[in-house]
Amino acid sequence: MANKKQPNPIDIHVGSRVRLRRMMLGMSQEKLGESLGITFQQIQKYEKGTNRIGASRLQHIARVLTVPVSFFFEDAPGAVPTEPGALGMAERPSASYVVDFLSSSEGIQLNKAFIRIKDAKIRRKVIELVRALGGTDDDDSEV
């Protein structure tokens, strides 16, 4: 029985960051594919981490999505902290749930709507409302 090779966690992470940025811009997979001269199916494979993104292709994607290449590696699994000794022996908390949320359609919509709220008091009230609806009353002031 042949085992299907699992995608590398870095490839999955980079793909999820491509998806996150694409969705933040409101760009379709088809539009990104057209900009790169490839099919939307290839974009799907990149975003899932099924296919690896080569260096030159990643550079092109970064240009199209108007981000530095380093954007795709932020919070990557196994990443080394930028400041030596900053964490000591402690592990950095995983931010994958944030990326997962912001990669969803609802996360993008909620984030865009929240950012448009100019009044800080109203933003805090929205957070309180969401916590109440979610059944969470703890104060997670740090993300």
Q: Is 128 exposed, middle or buried (0-12, 13-18, 19+ CB in 10 A)?
A: exposed
For the beta carbon of residue 23, count every other beta carbon within 10 angstroms.
Answer: 20
Domains and CATH numbers, the chain: 7-77 (1.10.260.40), 104-143 (no CATH)
The string of pLDDT tens digits covering residues 12-54 is: 999 999 998 998 888 999 999 999 999 999 999 999 999 999 9
Pure H helices in the chain: 9-24, 29-36, 40-48, 55-64, 96-103, 105-115, 120-134
Average pLDDT score over residue span 68-83: 78
Query: pTM for this one?
Result: 0.65
Tokens 């494979």 sit on residue:
45
